[in-house]
C-alpha cells in the first residue's frame, strides 16, 4: 500500500507522515529530501522557490518510485507538496488500487485563528532553516490553490477547519 500524502505548505504533512510511520511502521519518503538532493547536487538549476517547475522535475521520479514499490509489494508513505493535480493519469487500475491519496489543506478561518501556532509547529519534525516568508496571505493563497486544484481534478481534500490534532487522529485511525 502506498499512502500519497500531499497538500499545502505548513499543513502538517511531515508530522502526519511521521505519526503514520510510528503507528504502521511503514517508512516514508519526503519529496523535499529528493528536491534538496537534486538542488544541492547541481542536477538542476531550480531553487526551492520554483514550486511548479519542481513538480514537473520531481513527479516523474516520484511516480516511478511509487510504481516500483507497488511492483515489489512494498508499503511506502510518500509525502510532499510536489504532486500534480492530475496525478492519477500516470497510473492504471492495478497501481491505483494500491494508492491511498490524502491531501491536507487549511481553511482561511483556520489560518486566521491559528496562524501563530502554525508557524510555531513548522519545525516539529524537520528543522526549517528560513521561514521568514510565511504570511497569512501567502498561506491562504497556497491552501486555496491546493483545494481548488485537487477538487477540480476530482480528489477529496481533507480540510483542517477546527482542530489539526483531531483531523490528524481521524486520518491515522483510518490507516
C-alpha cell read off for 170: 481521524
C-alpha cell read off for 98: 494500491
Cα separation, 118 vs 134, in Å, equals: 10
Nearest Cα neighbor of 79 from 38, 31, 12 is 31
Cα separation, 66 vs 135, in Å, equals: 33
Task: Output the tens digit of pLDDT for each of the chain's 175 residues.
Answer: 999 999 998 899 999 999 999 999 999 999 999 999 999 999 999 998 898 999 999 999 999 999 999 999 999 999 999 999 999 999 999 999 999 999 999 999 999 999 888 766 554 556 555 666 778 999 999 999 999 999 999 999 999 999 888 988 888 877 6
Amino acid at each position: 500500500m502506498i499512502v500519497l500524502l500531499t497538500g499545502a505548505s505548513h499543513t502538517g504533512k511531515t508530522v502526519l507522515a511521521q505519526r503514520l510511520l510510528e503507528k504502521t511502521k511503514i517508512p516514508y519518503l519526503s519529496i523535499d529530501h529528493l528536491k534538496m538532493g537534486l538542488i544541492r547536487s547541481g542536477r538542476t538549476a531550480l531553487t526551492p522557490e520554483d514550486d511548479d517547475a519542481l513538480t514537473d522535475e520531481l513527479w516523474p521520479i516520484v511516480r516511478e518510485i511509487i510504481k516500483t514499490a507497488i511492483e515489489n509489494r512494498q508499503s511506502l508513505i510518500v509525502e510532499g507538496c510536489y504532486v500534480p493535480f492530475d496525478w492519477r493519469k500516470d497510473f492504471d487500475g492495478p497501481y491505483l488500487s494500491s494508492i491511498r491519496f490524502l491531501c491536507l489543506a487549511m481553511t482561511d478561518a483556520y489560518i486566521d485563528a491559528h496562524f501563530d501556532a502554525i508557524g510555531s509547529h513548522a519545525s516539529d519534525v524537520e528543522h526549517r532553516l528560513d521561514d521568514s516568508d510565511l504570511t497569512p496571505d501567502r498561506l491562504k493563497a497556497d491552501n486555496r490553490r491546493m483545494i481548488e486544484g485537487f477538487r477540480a481534478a476530482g480528489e477529496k481534500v481533507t480540510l483542517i477547519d477546527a482542530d489539526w490534532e483531531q483531523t490528524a487522529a481521524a486520518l491515522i485511525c483510518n490507516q
